[in-house]
């Protein structure tokens, strides 16, 4: 389990009997909820689904789950795994999850967000857990089926029964995560980590790709070659894979002298002052709860900013059109 101070829980650390006979209610049969429900059931746990009346509801029924109103599923469950979008959690918890929770039950989240920013205040007398996968929903299912599993952050935020850790590890094992490893991280830390990377590395990477596309096309390069070069060929994602396999710095040696020299030269020339300032502002905004407050306002107003992004995702921009031509050409 422990290697030089780093803790990863693996299958041998979990006792499936800690959840023996306990019913798990998966609340929200969406991206992650559907994969989790299938994994947990395939591992032998009795799983029920609580879902609003949307397109996911018939899907859960077609997959063979008993599908109930959320409040009803919560009232029947020993373990409630709340898998609805983070920004929707406050209202859903207040109206349907919170009132039905049974004393001694466990309430588990897949993201630290709602706990870290006080969107939910679970009552005393129940276990409060975090099992936050580092993997997209469909990959959670695929890696379960292929037997490799996925990384997760786990935390016990409240141990009312004295059995919270064994329950959490049994749940993580049944989900398939402990084949890969689960690292302890509090809900507050998980939320900070998740938001920080999304709001620093994400925007810079995105902006670099947009700008390079613009300049490359201006310089006469085919737009199709630009999108192939940057992500469609898979070369770049393979580079990220080598960060994990051989190390961020060591992976440099996998590239030839031309790439090493050019990349190093331009990295040195980057103006890091403004970058650092923006990153620090993001960090402070996330830490202070300012970002969460803005997101809750966005939700309350019906997502005006997110709706504004629809123009970006409509597929009419030059990059999306180049991607489409590549896909069509490759069949």
Please report, as ranges, the residues that interact with ligand NDP according to CB under 6 A.
28-33, 51-52, 54, 56, 83-86, 88, 91-92, 110-111, 132-133, 136-137
Nearer to ligand NDP, 66 or 216 (CB): 66
Long-range (24+ apart) CB contacts under 8 A made by 249-252 are none
187-199 vs 201-218: helix axis angle to the nearest 10?
A: 10
Q: Provide, rounded to whole angstroms, the least separation between the CB of residue 51 and ligand NDP.
A: 5
The DSSP code for 124 is T
Q: Provide, rounded to whole angstroms, the least separation between the CB of residue 58 and ligand NDP.
A: 11
Nearer to ligand NDP, 150 or 213 (CB): 150
DSSP 101-113: PPTT-EEEESSSH
Q: Provide, rounded to whole angstroms, the least separation between the CB of residue 154 and ligand NDP.
A: 13
Burial class (CB in 10 A: 0-12, 13-18, 19+), 169: buried
Which parts of the chain fold into alpha helices (H)? 31-42, 56-62, 70-76, 89-92, 113-116, 137-146, 164-175, 187-199, 201-218, 223-227, 235-246, 257-269, 272-287, 290-300, 304-308, 318-330
Tell me the residue nearest to ligand NDP as measured from the CB: 30
What whole-number distance in Å separates Cα of residue 14 and Cα of residue 67?
29
Nearer to ligand NDP, 161 or 189 (CB): 189
Nearer to ligand NDP, 19 or 37 (CB): 37
Q: Provide, rounded to whole angstroms, the least separation between the CB of residue 189 and ligand NDP.
A: 15
Nearer to ligand NDP, 177 or 322 (CB): 177
Q: Provide, rounded to whole angstroms, the least separation between the CB of residue 86 and ligand NDP.
A: 5
């Amino acid at each position: 389990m422990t290697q030089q101070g780093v803790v990863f829980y693996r299958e041998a650390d979990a006792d499936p009997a800690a959840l023996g006979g306990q019913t798990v209610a998966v609340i929200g049969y969406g991206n992650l909820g559907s994969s989790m429900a299938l994994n947990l059931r395939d591992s032998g746990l009795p799983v029920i689904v609580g879902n609003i009346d949307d397109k996911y509801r018939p899907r859960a029924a077609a997959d063979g789950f008993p599908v109930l109103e959320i409040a009803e599923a919560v009232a029947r469950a020993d373990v409630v795994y709340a898998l609805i979008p983070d920004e929707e959690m406050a209202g859903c918890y207040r109206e349907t999850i919170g009132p039905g929770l049974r004393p001694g039950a466990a309430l588990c989240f897949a993201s630290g967000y709602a706990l870290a920013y006080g969107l939910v205040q679970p009552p005393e007398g129940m276990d409060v857990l975090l099992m936050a996968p580092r993997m997209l929903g469909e990959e959670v299912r695929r890696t379960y089926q292929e037997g490799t599993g996925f990384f997760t952050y786990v935390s016990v935020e409240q141990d009312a029964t004295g059995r919270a850790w064994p329950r959490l590890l049994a749940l993580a094992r049944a989900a398939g995560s402990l084949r890969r490893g689960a690292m302890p991280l509090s809900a507050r830390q998980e939320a900070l980590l998740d938001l920080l990377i999304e709001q620093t590395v994400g925007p810079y990477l995105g902006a670099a790709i947009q700008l390079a596309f613009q300049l490359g096309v201006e310089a006469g390069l085919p737009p199709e070659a630009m999108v192939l070069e940057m992500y469609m060929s898979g070369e770049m994602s393979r580079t990220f894979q080598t960060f994990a396999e051989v190390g961020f710095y060591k992976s440099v040696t996998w590239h030839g002298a031309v790439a090493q020299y050019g990349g190093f030269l331009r990295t040195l020339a980057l103006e890091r002052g403004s970058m650092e300032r923006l990153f620090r502002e993001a960090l402070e905004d996330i830490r202070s709860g300012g970002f969460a407050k803005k997101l809750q306002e966005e939700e309350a107003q019906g997502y005006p900013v997110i709706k504004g992004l629809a123009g970006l995702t409509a597929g009419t921009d030059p990059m999306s059109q180049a991607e489409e031509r590549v896909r069509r050409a490759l069949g």
